[in-house]
Amino acid sequence: MIKALVFDMDGVIIDSEPIQCEIAVDVLRSFGAEPAENELYEFVGVTNQAMWPVLKERHKLDASVEEILKRHQEYKKKRFFTQKIEPIEGVRELIMDADARGLKIALATSSPRYLAEHILTSTGLMPYFDAMVTADDITKSKPDPEIYLKAAELLGVEPESCIAVEDAEHGIQAAKNAGMRVIGFINPHSGKQDTSRADFVVSSMRDIDLDRLVG
């Protein structure tokens, strides 16, 4: 029996993957690197803490990972805190429907907590979430299941009773590794993501039928 929905954020709650990639590219260029086109899409669903050591080595950056992370945070705040944020079409209705059915709702995002709180507050969705797990709360990045196991624990629900909603291959693998069923959301702005491991695949949030999933 399904008791909870667990949502990824970037590419699921808001259509932010292109922005996240653009910001990372700008950070790399600020340190003198010239990333390849679409290079950053391989890190969709991965924490900054896991991404930047790889990119630092790949592009031979002189700056420390701590310096890079600090600049990345500054660029993110400048971009996300000055623009109006709208949720992906249909996701608000899905969350409200789940809430009306008495399902528990959690966020499991590889973004930092300050950004997740800002986005959920700005979109008016924060009151619907019973739990939140962010990059600040985990030691292992997706596809490791840690983030989804923690979300289930905070909700007080077995992972097998949860359905995750993900747009990225790493996220889908993480949720499956945790023992959850997964809805793979094909977001054309999230790069070419393999959703083949998902239990259900949709191209619109409006295609997620809770009557069929929950009963």
61 phi/psi in degrees, rounded to 5: -75, 140
Query: DSSP string covering 116-164, please?
Result: HHHHHHHTT-GGG-SEEE-GGG-SS-TTSTHHHHHHHHHHT--GGGEEE
DSSP category for residue 41: G
Q: Side chain identity at 103, as an amino acid letter?
A: L
Minimal CA–CA distance to 114: which of 171, 71, 73? 73
Q: Side chain identity at 128, as an amino acid letter?
A: Y
Which one is catalytic: 8, 10, 15, 167?
8
Q: Which of helix, strand or coil describes residue 46?
A: coil
8 part of the active site: yes
Beta bridge pairs of residue 200: 183
Among all residues, which ones are annotated catalytic?
Answer: 8
